[in-house]
Amino acid sequence: MKNLRWIEIAAFRGFGESSRIDLDADSVVITGANGSGKTSLIDAITWTLTGTVPRLEERRERRTDDVVTNRYMRGSVPRVTLAFSGSDGSDVEATRELTAGASSVAVRINGELVRGGDESLARAMGFSNHAELSYAVETWGVLHQDSMRAVLEARPEEFQRRLREILGLAALDSFESWIKSECKKAADEVKGARERLAQATRAASAARANLESIQQRKEQAVPVADARQAFVAATERAAPAVRLAIPEASEPALAALLQEIRRLQVDISRQQSAYAAAAEALAATEARLDVDPDALAAATASARAAYEDVQLRYEEAEIAVADFRRDLEGLAALAAAAIPHLGPTCPVCGQGIDAHEVRTHLDELLDSSGQLTALQALEEKGDQLRQAAQNTELAVGEAGRAERAVREWQQEISRLRAERAAHEKWFASLAADDALVPVTVDGLTGKGTAEVIAMLRRLEGALQHWQSALADQALELQESAERVRLAEGEAQERLLQQEVERLAASELSLRSLGSAATEAVVSVTGQWLTELNPLFGAVYNRLAAHPTFTELGLEHDVYYGKGRTLPRVYDRLVEIGDNPQIVCSEGQLNIVALSYFIAFSLSAGERSLPFMIMDDPLQFMDEINVLGFADLCRHLRSERQVLVTSHDRRFARLLERKLRPRSEDVESLRLDFVSWERAGPRIEAARQAGEQAHVMLKASA
Amino acid sequence: MSVDYTQHPLTLEAETVLRAAAFETARVALPASGAGVLVAEDRFSAAAILGVDVWGTAASAIGDIGTDFANWAFDRDPREKQWDLYLVILIATPVTENDQLVEIEAVVADTRYLRRLIRHGVSTGTEPPNVRTALAPLLPLSLPARVSDRDPHRALVEALRSQGVDADLAERTVQRFIERAGGG
C-alpha cells in the first residue's frame, strides 16, 4: 500500500539546504549510521502532519525555544512539504513553515490551495478534526525509537484512552458516567426527601405535644368570673391598708396593674429600708450629742478671756525683766571701765581718793549678787506666766474643737431628720394616691410596710390567677388551630413517607442498573477485546519475543469502580497471564511495545492512518526477532505503507531482502543515508520494482 | 530408516490451514533423508511441515531434514526463496523439561540455510484452530472486523439484558441516555 509520495525538507532539524526525498513505495527501508539524519526525516513527517514534534517539546529549556530550525540555517524559515494520497485518492501537498515562532500549514489538493490549514489537512487525511489526526499520528502512526517503551509504560488510563479511540468506547464510558451521575442525583433526591420527612415528623410531633398541653390546661382551667371574684375578694381583704380599683377584664389592663403592683412592692421595700437606715443613723448621732453646745460655747469664751489675761501679764513681766537686765548691765560696764583709772586723786575734782575703798565698792558693784538674785526671781516669774499662757491656749484650742464637732453633729442630725422626713413624706404621698393607699406605716418601724408588701403579694397572686384564667379562655381556639396543624403535618408526613419510599426504590433500581451498566461496559469491552486480542497475539507471535509467554493481549476490568485496561502476556500451556513489565526482559519489553504499536495501528479502523512509521525498531532485537519482524513487515505493507529505519546496516540489508516485492503491483525502496554534513544528509535511493514471485511447487507441477 | 510425517494429524490439519491461506502444498519425500514432509509454499516463503507426537521423535532427525529441505529448495530456485525457507515442527505433547526446552531453543536459534519454527503442545480440532496459531508466522495477518463501526448502544442494551436487567428497562435506559446525555 502506498500513501506518502515524497517529502521536501529545508532548514529543518538535520536538514539544511532543501532536499527532496522519494517515499513512493509500499515499503521504505531507511538505513544509515547514527546521526545521519534518519530521525530528522521522521520528525519532518510528524511535524508536517501535527505541527509539533512531541519528543522535542519535552526537551525545551524555555517555552520560546525553537526546537526545529536547523542550527546552521538560523534566520531561515524551516519548511517541509509532504506529498501524499488523500483519503479520497486526491493528490495532497501539505507545506508547513515556522515563522515568528508559529507554525502554519498550507494545503493543496490536486494543485489547488485550500483554506483551513490544519483542519483541511486533517480532512484530507480522512479525519474529522486536526486533534484526532494528531492523536493518531502520535499514537499509532509514528513510533519513535526513544518513545517506544512509552507505549507500554502508558498508565492503564492511557491504554483505556487508546482503546476508547479504537473501539469507540467513548459511548460506553459516557453511559457509565451518566448512570453514575443519575445514581448520585437519585441518592441526593432520597436524602432531600428524608430530610423533608424528618422535618415534617418533627413538626407533627410538636403539634401533638402542643395539643396535649392545651388539653391538659383546659382540664385545669378556672372560669374567669371565679378568678375575678377571687381577686375582688383579695382586694377587699387588703383594704383599707391597700385600696385598689378593680380593672377591666382585659389582658393589657391586668398586665399593667400587675406591673404596677410589682413596682410598688419594690419601691416600698426600698423606701422602707432607706428610712430605717436614716432613723438608725439619727439615733446614733443624737446619742453621741450629750453636752449643751451653748454651755460649751460659754466655757470656751471664759477660757479665752483667762488666756488673754495671763498672756497680758506675761508680756508685762517680760518687759520689766528686760528693763532691769539692761540697767544692771550698764552699771556693771561703767564700774569695769572705772577700775583701771583709779588713782590717788580724783581726775575730776582733784581730791584724794581712797583707791582701795573705791575699788572694793566697785567690785561689789560688779558682783551685784543681790540684784542678780532679784533678776533671777523675776525671770522665774516670767517663765511661770508663759507656761500658764501656753496651757490656757491649749485649753482654748480644745474647747474650740469640741464646739466645732458639736456644730457638725447638729448639722448631721438636721440632715438625717430631713431625710427621715422625706421618706415620711413619700409614704404620706401614697395616701394621696386614689388607687393604692398604705394607711399606716406604724411609726416607720417597718412593721406596717411588711404587711403592705405581703398584701401586695397576695394581690399579685390573685391577679395572675385572673390573668391565667383570661388566657385560658383562648384555649378552645388554640386547640382547634393545633388540631388543624397536626392533621396537616400528619398528612404531609404520610406523603413524604411515600415519596421517600418511591425515591428509595428508584435509587435502588438505578444503583443496581448502575452496577449492571459497569458490568455491561466491561462485558462489551471484553467482547470486543476478544476480537482484537488475536491480532495482538498474531503480531507478537511472529516476533518470537519470549520462549514461554507466547501470547499477547489486553485485559479489561473494574478497579475501584473505574474501568481500566491492562497489558498482558500469556503462557497458554500452564494458563498464566501476567504483566509483561514484570515477566519480560528489557529487550523483550521493546518487542512487546512494538507489537502493541503495530496492533493498535492495524485496529484503529476509521481512525487509522494509511502508513506506519517505525524509527529504528530493530535496535533491541536479536536475529530471530529481526527475521520475524521482516516476515511481519511483508504482510503489513499490504495493509499500510511501511517506513522502517535502522542504523544496523546488516539488519537493514536483511529487511530489504525480505521486503523485496513478490508481485508486480508492489514496490519497495531503500534510502541509504550515506553521510551527514552541515548542509544536510547525503542520501542514495534504490528502488526495487515488483515482479511476480516464482513458486517452486507450481513449477514442479 | 525413512519416516513419513505427512500423515500425522497435525500435518494434515496444517495442510488444511495453509491451503486455506492460498499456499500451494505437496507431500515430498526428501531425497537424502527420505523423510516424508508436507511442503507448503506461497510467493513469500516455502516451508516443510512435520507433525510429531513428542519432541524426542523429531529431535534427532531435525538437523538432517533441515539440510535436506534446504538442498531440495536450492535445487529448484536458489535465487528467490533462499532467505525464506522454514522448517516447522508441530509437537502434540507440551515440552516441559528444561533439557528439552534448551534443545529446542538451540535449534530455533540456528538460522543457517533456513528458519526453524518449533511449536509444542499443539492440538488438533480446537476452535480457534491451535494449528493456525502455531503457523501464524507464515500466514497473512488476519485483521479483526472494524469494531469501531459497531453500534455501542445496541451492544450496551444486549449487555444490560445479559446482566439480568429487564429488556424494556435496558432499552428505555439506553434510549434516555442517548436523548439526555447526547449518547456519547
- Neighbouring-strand partners of residue B26: B39
Please determine, for residue A120, whether its predicted confidence score (pLDDT) is greater than 70: yes
> Which of A50-64, A290-304, A564-578, B36-50 bottoms out in mean pLDDT, i.e. has the lowest?
A290-304
Residue B144's nearest CA partner among A536, A418, A96 is A536
Residue A541: its chain B contacts at CB < 8 A? 133, 136-137
Q: What residues contact A146, with CB distance under 8 A and at least 6 apart?
A: A55
Cβ pair A517:B73 closer than 8 A: no
Q: How confident is the model at residue A151 (pLDDT cuts 50, 70, 90)?
A: low
Per-residue model confidence as pLDDT tens digits over B150-166: 677 888 888 888 888 88
Please determine, for residue A194, whether its predicted confidence score (pLDDT) is greater than 70: yes
User: Residue A263: enclosing H or E segment and its boundaries?
Assistant: helix A251-288
For residue A273, the one-letter residue type is S
Per-residue model confidence as pLDDT tens digits over B162-173: 888 888 888 888
Say what the pLDDT of residue B181 is: 59
- B105 to chain A, any CB pair closer than 8 A? The answer is yes
Cβ pair A516:B174 closer than 8 A: no
Please determine, for residue A435, whether its predicted confidence score (pLDDT) is greater than 50: no
State how far the Cα of A668 lies from the Cα of A26, in Å rounded to an integer: 6
Q: What residues contact A49, with CB distance under 8 A and at least 6 apart?
A: A82, A94, A121, A125, A133, A134, A137, A141
State how far the Cα of B5 lies from the Cα of B52, in Å rounded to an integer: 7
- To probe the interface with A, which of B19, B107, B148 has the most A CB atoms within 10 Å? B148
- To probe the interface with B, which of A533, A650, A697 has the most B CB atoms within 10 Å? A697
- Stretch 661-700 of chain A: residues touching chain B, C-beta under 8 Å: 662-663, 692-700
Say what the pLDDT of residue A442 is: 44
Nearest to B160 among A520, A628, A695 (CB): A520
Please determine, for residue B72, whether its predicted confidence score (pLDDT) is greater than 80: yes
Q: How far off is chain A from B1, nearest CA to CA, in Å? A: 26
- For B139, which residue in chain A has the nearest alpha carbon? A635
> Which of A162-171, A401-410, B137-146 bottoms out in mean pLDDT, i.e. has the lowest?
A162-171
- Stretch 54-93 of chain A: residues touching chain B, C-beta under 8 Å: none
Please determine, for residue A440, whether its predicted confidence score (pLDDT) is greater than 50: no
Residue A666's nearest CA partner among B45, B144, B44, B80 is B44
State how far the Cα of A652 lies from the Cα of A32, in Å rounded to an integer: 9
Say what the pLDDT of residue A65 is: 79
Please determine, for residue A153, whether its predicted confidence score (pLDDT) is greater than 60: yes
Report residue A5: phi and psi, to 5°: -105, -45
Mean pLDDT score, A447-464 = 83
Q: How far off is chain B from A661, nearest CA to CA, in Å? A: 9
State how far the Cα of B169 lies from the Cα of A12, in Å rounded to an integer: 59
CA end-to-end span of chain B: 68
Per-residue model confidence as pLDDT tens digits over A370-429: 666 777 887 888 788 888 878 878 877 887 787 787 778 888 888 888 887 887 777 777
- Stretch 151-170 of chain A: residues touching chain B, C-beta under 8 Å: 166-170
Q: How far off is chain B from A659, nearest CA to CA, in Å? A: 9
Report the percentage of chain B scoring pLDDT > 70.
92
Report the percentage of chain A scoring pLDDT > 90.
29
- Stretch 131-170 of chain B: residues touching chain A, C-beta under 8 Å: 133, 136-138, 140-150, 152-153, 155-156, 159-160, 162-165, 169
Q: What is the mean pLDDT of chain A?
A: 84
- Neighbouring-strand partners of residue A79: A10, A97
Per-residue model confidence as pLDDT tens digits over B40-69: 999 889 999 999 999 998 888 898 999 999
Cβ pair B148:A166 closer than 8 A: yes
Cβ pair B150:A528 closer than 8 A: yes
> Which of A63-77, A137-151, A183-197, A301-315 bottoms out in mean pLDDT, i.e. has the lowest?
A137-151
Q: What residues contact A516, with CB distance under 8 A and at least 6 apart?
A: B160, B163, B164, B165
DSSP A266-316: HHHHHHHHHHHHHHHHHHHHHHH--S-HHHHHHHHHHHHHHHHHHHHHHHH
For residue A415, the one-letter residue type is R
Select, from the ranges A264-278, A341-355, A380-394, A610-624, the one with the highest average predicted confidence (pLDDT).
A610-624
State how far the Cα of A180 lies from the Cα of A510, in Å rounded to an integer: 9
Interface confidence (ipTM) of the complex: 0.86
Please determine, for residue A523, whether its predicted confidence score (pLDDT) is greater than 90: no
DSSP A24-55: -SSEEEEEE-TTSSHHHHHHHHHHHHHS--HH
- B67 to chain A, any CB pair closer than 8 A? The answer is no
Cβ pair A524:B156 closer than 8 A: yes
Say what the pLDDT of residue A347 is: 66
- B112 to chain A, any CB pair closer than 8 A? The answer is no
Q: What residues contact A231, with CB distance under 8 A and at least 6 apart?
A: A246, A459, A462, A463, A465, A466
- For B159, which residue in chain A has the nearest alpha carbon? A520
- For B145, which residue in chain A has the nearest alpha carbon? A531
Q: What residues contact A149, with CB distance under 8 A and at least 6 apart?
A: A589, A590, A593
- What proportions of chain B, in percent to the nearest 5, are helix, strand and coil? 45, 20, 40
Length of chain B: 184
Select, from the ranges A155-169, A194-208, A264-278, A471-485, the one with the highest average predicted confidence (pLDDT).
A194-208
Please determine, for residue A114, whether its predicted confidence score (pLDDT) is greater than 90: yes
